């Protein structure tokens, strides 16, 4: 990526859900970032932090409460029907649960071919058959599996079918919503390796959502960390792992098991105080203030801005806000 081309630009995105007359859940609350063509942006955070809602709002599955998502410079919420149809071809999703995201009544062939038919990408049964078989091979499955039903496959194989379905329409952007978290640990690395390979071969751009930082490092060029609806840090993967700035990122990184048993015994794990607050009633000021070991008075009063503190390294924390240093 010599010259970075922005493929998706997310500006002050908000997605709120009304719970009842008095309560609103601010699942995504003023989040801004860009995704460059050809890169993988990892989005990480504990469950309930808003990462899945953020991903789905970015590709138009949910209508935003406020803010904009520009895809190739066009606001996806203001697209005409024909442009929206095009967008559903360019942008595909890989789901968390390979058990419930594939129709059990359909054969693998029909699951994979559906998108190609909708977008009129194949013109004969023979062409369709060849395209499906090629996709099955590309994701590491036997082409003869096309005539089987999904219940005949393991979790890892089902996720491969889900990937083949997403790739069938030749997309340029993939939203991978925790695609490995429902799988056995032994299978997770295989699926990550497959996604990395396919991304390189096809020049894909992707957003990879995960709940911890361990596996996401292997697939992401940059990583964003979310906490209670906010993006709290965003940096190049290597930089984020070597020099995390936000106290929440520090804590997440300290929880990753180290492969060397001695290093694992000796390293200090940062244990966060308390529980994740309810997103319906987050703390005043910095949402992390009730769990942060560095919290000061200002943290309980003012929301820290998400600022670029070094080139390409963004953080929302009063410790790094320029005017407060």
Tell me: does residue 292 bind ligand SF4 (CB under 6 A). yes
Cα 178 to its chain centre, rounded Å, is: 7
Q: Least distance in Å: CB of 321 to ligand SF4?
A: 8
Q: Least distance in Å: CB of 320 to ligand SF4?
A: 8
Tell me: does residue 317 bind ligand SF4 (CB under 6 A). yes
56 versus 246: smaller Cβ distance to ligand SF4: 246
Tell me: does residue 306 bind ligand SF4 (CB under 6 A). no
User: φ, ψ for residue 26 (rounded to 5)?
Assistant: -90, 80
145 versus 318: smaller Cβ distance to ligand SF4: 318
Site for ligand SF4, residues 250 to 289, rule: CB under 6 A: 286, 288-289
With CA atoms as reference, report the closest residue to 175 among 57, 273, 81.
57
Among 189, 294, 297, 310, binds ligand SF4 (CB under 6 A): 294
67 versus 285: smaller Cβ distance to ligand SF4: 285
- Strands 205-210, 40-44: pairing is parallel
179 versus 282: smaller Cβ distance to ligand SF4: 282
Q: Least distance in Å: CB of 213 to ligand SF4?
A: 17
Q: For residues 92 and 205, give the distance between their C-alpha atoms in angstroms, rounded to a whole number.
A: 11
Site for ligand SF4, residues 228 to 247, rule: CB under 6 A: 246-247
Buried b (16+ CB within 10 A) or exposed e, 284-306: ebbbbbbbbeebeeebeeeebeb
Residue 286 · residue 318 · CB < 8 Å: yes
Tokens of 311: 């080139």
Q: For residues 254 and 266, give the distance between their C-alpha atoms in angstroms, rounded to a whole number.
A: 12
Q: Which residues bind ligand SF4 (CB under 6 A)?
A: 246-247, 286, 288-289, 292, 294-295, 299, 304, 317-319
């Amino acid at each position: 990526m010599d010259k970075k081309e922005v493929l998706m630009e997310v500006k002050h995105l908000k997605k709120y859900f009304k719970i009842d007359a008095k309560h609103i859940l601010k699942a995504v609350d003023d989040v801004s970032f860009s995704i460059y063509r050809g890169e993988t942006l990892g989005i990480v955070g504990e469950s309930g932090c808003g990462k899945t809602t953020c991903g789905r709002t970015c590709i138009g599955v949910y209508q935003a409460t406020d803010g904009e998502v520009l895809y190739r410079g066009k606001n996806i919420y203001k697209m005409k029907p024909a442009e929206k149809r095009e967008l559903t071809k360019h942008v595909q999703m890989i789901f968390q649960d390979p058990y419930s995201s594939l129709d059990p009544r359909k054969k693998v062939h029909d699951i994979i071919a559906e998108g190609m038919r909708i977008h009129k990408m194949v013109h004969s049964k023979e062409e369709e058959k060849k395209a499906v078989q090629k996709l099955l091979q590309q994701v590491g499955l036997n082409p003869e599996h096309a005539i089987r039903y999904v219940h005949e496959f393991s979790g890892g194989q089902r996720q491969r079918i889900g990937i083949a379905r997403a790739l069938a329409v030749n997309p340029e952007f993939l939203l991978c919503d925790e695609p490995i978290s429902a799988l056995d640990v032994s299978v997770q690395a295989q699926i990550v390796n497959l996604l990395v390979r396919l991304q390189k071969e096809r020049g894909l751009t992707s957003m990879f959502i995960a709940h911890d930082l361990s596996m996401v490092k292997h697939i992401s060029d940059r990583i964003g960390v979310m906490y209670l609806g906010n993006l709290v840090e965003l940096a190049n993967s290597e930089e984020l792992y070597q020099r995390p700035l936000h106290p929440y990122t520090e804590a997440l990184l300290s929880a990753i098991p180290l492969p060397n048993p001695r290093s694992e015994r000796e390293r200090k794990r940062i244990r966060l105080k308390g529980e994740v607050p309810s997103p319906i009633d987050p703390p005043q000021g910095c949402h992390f203030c009730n769990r942060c070991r560095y919290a000061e008075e200002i943290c309980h009063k003012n929301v820290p801005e998400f600022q670029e503190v070094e080139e390409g390294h963004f953080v929302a924390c009063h410790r790094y806000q320029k005017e407060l240093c």
